[in-house]
Structure 1
Amino acid sequence: MASLRALLTTSMALPAAAFWRMSCGIIQTGRLDPNISPGAVSAHVHKVSGASNFGLSSTYDDLIASRCTSCEIQDDKSAYWTPQMYYQRADGSVEEVPNGGTVVYYLGRGENRENIEPFPPGFRMVSGDPFLRSNDTASVTYSDGKFLSRPVSDRVSFACLDSSGHIPEVNYMARTECDQGLRAQIQFQSCWDGRDYQLDQSHVAYLSGIDNGVCPPTHPRQLPHLFFEVYYGVADVEKEPGGRFVFAQGDPTGFGFHGDFMNGWDPDVLKEAVDLCINDDSFNGQISYCPPLAKSQTPFYATNCPERQPIVNEQVKGTVECIPGCNVVSDGPARAARLFCPDDTPSINRAADEGPLAMFEPAPGDKLGGSSVFVGCVADNGNPRPLTGASFTADNMTIEICVAFCEDKGYALAGLEYSRECYCGDSIGSATAGDCSTTSKMICAGDNTQWCGAPSLLTVWGRAVGKRNYTEEQ
């Protein structure tokens, strides 16, 4: 399956404009939806990206208290979620379709884009209608005569990524035979009337052109324009006669695709990013060009904030007998019925997020216990490796485990890399050890308060004996 990073390079959904683009891994999979069903098991399964403290009743305070986020920008503890996709087989069983996360765009759009306001703390909204099963041409956006309206159903689009060439995007699942995957896309409302969250979404409205244009007079305050891309590995599923792709709410058409947002940004960071970056057309989406965003960016978001254990205790991954929840597949064209299942009450895992952790941030010369001293970070390009002695990989890797292993083998140095790897040696050869306090690193697989290097980067520890020189042997 193509990676999220590769997906970014193939995106053709939006024209060049001012925006930043952020990749997000999965943080939770299950029937959770605090926007629509706060405090209760929701009607259908969602894939959630963002704050690690996401749960059944998430609030702004819950999100910002999260230990981490599965998105690139660690100062953004927001939550972003969309429905799970399944492949339904002829016998009614369903198989989870691979999905690696969400790509989130924050765009400067609209005729009033110079006056875009940051999302207020705890702001929430939903875009899309999970019960739609056909094209809704009756519901249209605002028009003032100069800026024409557009069908609201155009908020959803699908891109079939296929080696046969470009296939035009449409607002339903017209084609799922896509050897490079199917990308679902949704635009959000950018206009706000200043009220708190309304369950019917009446507090927000779309721009006249959905992704551009003007706000209606009833919703004059303009917000950043949100846009999600969600990639599904439809080519990775073994298909069979009579099988079909269907979203978790029983939608085989795609007209009912939808997305949710709950703001969990650090308010100062978001304000500065909106002021400095959202209308700068030169950034081309790159977070690294926007200083307030770049300061908390990490390329290792998926490793450092992996998917948490399910909160709702039911099987929703792999192959299951039927779509989880009270959901039957409805082909339309009529709207799907809202079904209620009073006996549908799986148990809840109440495990809480650890909250923000104090990371162990050693500087060169700092000690760990009484036997090891931090040498620094060493680049490891593999040809040759700086540490050429014994090595091993473990899913419970910590600094202590690696150091003890290397000491037991008789080596003076222990280096950690890629979260789970340990390398030993007596010198780092011609390499140079340096301070890496501001370098992005991966947490240790066995201790999320410690750093265990990164791809092509070793965090090296040595015996705390005198002031030994660990470069090439004298």
Structure 2
Amino acid sequence: MATSSKVTSPMAAAALLLASLSGVNAFWRMDCHSPLGLARIDPLVDYGKIAAHSHIIFGGDNFSPTAGYDDLIASESTSCRAKEDKSAYWTPSLHFQHSDGTFEVVGNQGGMLAYYFLRDGGTGQQIKAFPAGFQMIAGDTNKRNFTGPVPDPPESDWTADELTQASLAEKALGFNCLNYASGKTEPSLFRHFLPDKSFLDANCADGIRLELSFPACWNEAAGVAPKGSKSHVAYPNLVQDGVCPEGFSTRLPGLFYETIWRTQDFVGKDGQFVLSNGDPTGYGYHGDFIAGWDVPTLQKAVDTCTNLDGTLESCPVFTLQTQPEMAAVKLSMPADLKNENCAGPESTLPGNVPIQSGPQPATDNHGGVAAPTYAPSSYAAPSKPVVPTVSPKKPVYSKPSYPGSFSIQDIQNAGVASTSRIATSEASSTSAAVYVAVTPAPSAPAETDGGSIIGTTTYTSDGAVWEVAIKEIDITVTAEPTGAARRRRHLAQHRHIGDSHGL
């Protein structure tokens, strides 16, 4: 498993290492740099009506309360980077309730990323492009509890209860505490609830990243858009990877949303964070998707854009826009919503949505009133929602894979014995798998893996400046029955060291 002497550049070494790891598949990140708008529009749940709560919306400019595939395909432009992607992506917005009872939207950092993962669960199954008319919903707006153990146990220890679709859907939500200066990053889908304000103030200096994984298994017989847009799809048994359940045999791209909110702007201010659907726990986070792709174009991208770096530049199928071009694309606001101020400050959440902390399910609130009359809402120091405590200081790395990363489990799958480990300072206290991040990491992170850097290079992608450091590290390989042997291995780490734009 030694690195070939023909590999002469750090980037080539990184690509070779990633390509050698079973379980790490191609993906790309669809950068939707600026939202179309913030509005109570949701054509999947409240078709033709004013939606119950506000959403932050990205994608094709023909999005509307009645938008469907044909409308989106006919969009003149999109707020996402690839001109070919006229899809619609939307999630609830995040708001802050001040101590005087008023609400204002939390600032969004850099739009959203929609990851397209090309994972087949090791089956060799073809991944099929989203068909014309395809739509789906992930998450449950009324959910206010979590039924599984906290934190997630290693996937190899998941019980039958934890492998149900209901449990997998609970694990498909993530709330990633961002603190780049700390030298530590949390795995995606590590925490399944929204931390309270005191935790965010103390630990998340760079905000909170809300994450959502969509089902990637489709029952073609159920159609592309059944009522409710959930019954036709299912999660593979590892949420983002693994095997599809019986009856859902068609493999789709694994869609994954990331949206960053600037909770750090409210440090020292009295109040609470709450999603626009009245959820202060995060358990009711959800998202919607309507495909707006020309199907042959998307299928060509799925079949041919199989690089492991996740950049759109690696895929010649796409015609890429600049950030100013994306930012110029805005929603045509329906007449009955033009006077609604979803951003605030206002005395209620948009649509007069009540705050419901659970743990019982929230009640539906589909008033659908136009230009609502805001009634002052009483404010009291919020009672803490029923959420567990998971410290970011000692994260438990229990996922075998997450966006843009690979794990020791991937190396094990490539033929290294199960006793092998890449040691880090955080790993000594846990028996769970340890991750080597290649997604954005803080500037000058602490060198904790014991390796020595043998080469570096930098490159720019999607406006971000990255450094690739190639390290040589020791790993132990157990060869039965002769025992263990030490080997040297080249390891690639991608570090986010800055931005080429003013985000």
Output the TM-score relative to the length of structure 2: 0.61
1:148 CA drift (Å)? 5.5
Residue 132 of structure 2 is matched in structure 1 by 121
- Structure 1 residues 191-231: Cα deviation after superposition (integer angstroms, max 9, x where no partner): 11112312331011111111011111111111100000000
Letter in 2 for 1:267: V
Aligned pairs for 1:374-393 (under 5 A) are none
Q: How much has 1:287 moved relative to structure 2?
A: 1.0
> Cα distance 1:239–1:43, how it changes in 2: closer, same or farther (>3 A)?
farther
1:58-457 aligned within 5 A: 58-99=67-108, 100-111=110-121, 112=123, 114-137=125-148, 151-162=168-179, 163-166=181-184, 168=186, 169-174=190-195, 175-177=199-201, 178-194=204-220, 195-200=223-228, 201-237=230-266, 239-241=268-270, 243-277=271-305, 280=306, 282-293=307-318, 296-300=319-323, 302-303=325-326, 305-311=328-334, 312-313=337-338, 314-341=340-367, 344-346=369-371
How big is the shift at 1:33?
0.4
Q: Deviations over 1:338-375 (max 9, x none)?
A: 13437x2339xxxxxxxxxxxxxxxxxxxxxxxxxxxx
Q: Aligned letter for 1:159? A: N
**Equivalent residues, number:** 326
Asked if the contact 2:135/2:291 (under 8 Å) is kept, the reply is yes
| Cα distance per residue 1:23-73 (max 9 Å; x no partner) | 102012100001111100010000000001110100111111111000000
Q: For 2:314, give the aligned amino acid.
A: Y
Does structure 1 conserve the Cα–Cα contact (< 8 Å) formed by 2:62 and 2:331? no
Residue 23 (structure 1) aligned to one of 25, 31, 52: 31
Task: From the superposition, tell whether residues 198 and 144 of structure 1 become closer, same or farther in structure 2 (CA, over 3 Å).
Answer: farther
d(CA) in 2 for partners of 1:244 and 1:258? 20
Native 8 Å contact 2:120 2:126 kept in 1: no
Task: In structure 1, give the amino acid aligned to 2:184.
Answer: H
C-alpha displacement of 1:326? 3.6
SS of 1:73 mapped into structure 2:
coil
Kindly state the Cα deviation for residue 268 of structure 1 after the two structures are TM-superposed.
2.1
When residues 340 and 34 of structure 1 are mapped into structure 2, their CA distance, relative to the original with a 3 A threshold, is closer
Summarize the alignment of residues 1-12 of structure 1 with structure 2, pairs less than 5 Å apart.
Answer: none
Report the 3-state secondary structure (helix = DSSP H, G, I; strand = E; otherwise coil) of the residue aligned with 2:317.
helix
- C-alpha distance 198-109 of structure 1, shift in aligned 2 (>3 A): same
- Read off the aligned partner of 1:286 and give its amino acid letter: T
State the distance in 2 between where 1:232 and 1:179 align: 11
Structure 2: distance between partners of 1:309 and 1:317? 17
Q: Secondary structure at the match of 1:166?
A: coil
Matched residue type, 2:83? Q
Structure with higher Rg: it is 1
- Distance 1:170-1:345 versus aligned 2 partners, 3 A rule: same
8 Å CA contact 1:124, 1:262 repeated in 2: yes
CA contact (8 A) 1:110 1:207 kept: no
Give distance in 2, aligned partners of 1:107 and 1:216. 18
* Deviates further, 44-53 or 311-320: 311-320
Deviates more, 1:313-322 or 1:54-63: 313-322
* Cα pair 2:175 2:208 within 8 Å, conserved: yes
* Distance in 1 (alpha carbons) for counterparts of 2:341 and 2:320: 33
Which structure has more relative contact order (CA 8 Å, sep 6+)? It is: 2
Q: 1:78 to 1:113 in 2, by over 3 A?
A: farther
SS in 2 for 1:218: coil
Q: Which amino acid aligns with 2:142?
A: F
CA deviations 1:352-406 (Å, max 9, x no partner) are: xxxxxxxxxxxxxxxxxxxxxxxxxxxxxxxxxxxxxxxxxxxxxxxxxxxxxxx
